[in-house]
Amino acid sequence: MLIFAHNLIKMSIHIEAKQDEIADFVLLPGDPLRAKHIAETLLTDAVCYNNVRGMLGFTGCYNGKRVSVQGTGMGLPSLMIYASELINDYKVKTLVRVGTCGGLLEDVELRDVIVAVSASTDSFSVARYFPGMTFAPTASFRLAQLAVENASELNIHVKAGNILSSDLFYHFPEEGDAYQLWRDYGTLAVEMESAGLYLLAARLKVEALSLLTVSDHLLTGEHVSAQERQFNFTNMTKLALSLAV
C-alpha cells in the first residue's frame, strides 16, 4: 500500500518532485546553495521541486530549453543517490556535474575550468563492481567534445584530461603526499564525485560529463574565497548550460 502510494505521487526516496517536474537535462552542483544561485541567476521561471534534506533542486529555462539543477552533496555515495534517482525514477538522460576541484599539477591554475574526460578513483563505490579488475570511468565523448568546442566559442579556456575522484578530503600526515602518485600519471585535479557519476552513466545508459573549476591548489596552497567558491562559477555553468541548447 505504501509502495503504491509512493508510485502514485511519483516521488523518489530523496527527491520529492512529481514525475514531470524534472527536465531530461540536469546540472549537478555539489552544493545545494549553488543550485539555488544557478536557478536564480541563469534560469528563467525556475521552480524549486526538492527540499528533502535541504538538497535543493530547481527546474527552469535556459535559452528556450527546459533544464533542471540538482544539488548532490559531497562524495561518490551522496552523488550516486541523487544521480540514480534522477535516472531511474525521473528518466533524466543527460547529467552534467558543475563542481570544484583541487589542482594537482603545476600548470593547472586557480579558476581554470577542467573538462573531466576520465575520472580515476580510490573509491570502493566503483571497485566493488569489478573485483580484481579496473573500470575506467569515462565522460560521454559527445558531451566532452561539445564542451571543448563551445568553450572556444564562449572564450572560456579549458583543460581536458583525467581527474581523481577521491573518497577523502583530509589525509593523515603519515600518508605523506597522498597525491604524488596521481601527479606522476598526469592527473589534473582532485574532487570527490565524478567517477561515481560516470560509472552510473555507463551502467544506466545515459550521458554524463563533469566540468570543474579549480577552487584550491594542492601544490601551492592557494584557494579562492568561500564566497567565490559558492557563487563565482558562472563561466563553467554557462558552458555546462550550453550543452543543453
Check residue 191 for interaction with ligand HPA (CB under 6 A): yes
Least separation in angstroms between residue 82's CB and ligand HPA is 17
Q: Among residue numbers 121 through 180, which ones bind ligand HPA (CB under 6 A)? A: 166, 169
According to CB under 6 A, which one of 190, 211, 241, 243 is a site residue for ligand HPA?
190
Kindly report the CA angle at 125 between 120 and 131, in degrees rounded to 5? Answer: 85
By CB under 6 A, how many residues form the interface with ligand HPA?
A: 11
Cα-only R_g, the chain? 17
Closest to ligand HPA by CB, 90 vs 182, is: 182
DSSP E strand stretches across the chain? 25-28, 44-50, 57-62, 65-70, 94-103, 113-121, 158-165, 189-191, 207-217
Stretch that binds ligand HPA, among 11-19, 38-46, 50-58, 186-194 (CB under 6 A): 186-194
Least separation in angstroms between residue 215's CB and ligand HPA is 5
Which residue in the shown chain puts its C-beta closest to ligand HPA?
102
Those residues with Cβ within 8 angstroms of residue 182's Cβ, 6 or more apart along the chain or in another chain: 104, 120, 164, 190
Contact characters 3-32, ligand HPA, x per CB under 6 A: ------------------------------
Least separation in angstroms between residue 17's CB and ligand HPA is 27
Tally Cβ neighbours within 10 Å of residue 190.
23
Give the DSSP letter of residue 14: S
Closest among 86, 127, 95 to 29, alpha carbons compared: 95
Check residue 195 for interaction with ligand HPA (CB under 6 A): no
β-strands 94-103, 189-191 pairing: antiparallel
Q: Among residue numbers 97 through 126, which ones bind ligand HPA (CB under 6 A)? A: 100-102
Q: Among residue numbers 208 through 237, which ones bind ligand HPA (CB under 6 A)? A: 215-216, 218
Kindly report the CA angle at 189 between 166 and 227, in degrees rounded to 5? Answer: 95
Measured in degrees and rounded to the nearest 5, phi and psi for residue 146 equal -65, -40
According to CB under 6 A, which one of 17, 139, 192, 200 is a site residue for ligand HPA?
192
Euclidean distance between CA atoms 81 and 28, whole angstroms: 12
Closest to ligand HPA by CB, 95 vs 218, is: 218
Question: Does the active-site annotation cover 216?
Answer: yes
Active site members: 216
User: Contact residues for ligand HPA (CB under 6 A)?
Assistant: 100-102, 166, 169, 190-192, 215-216, 218
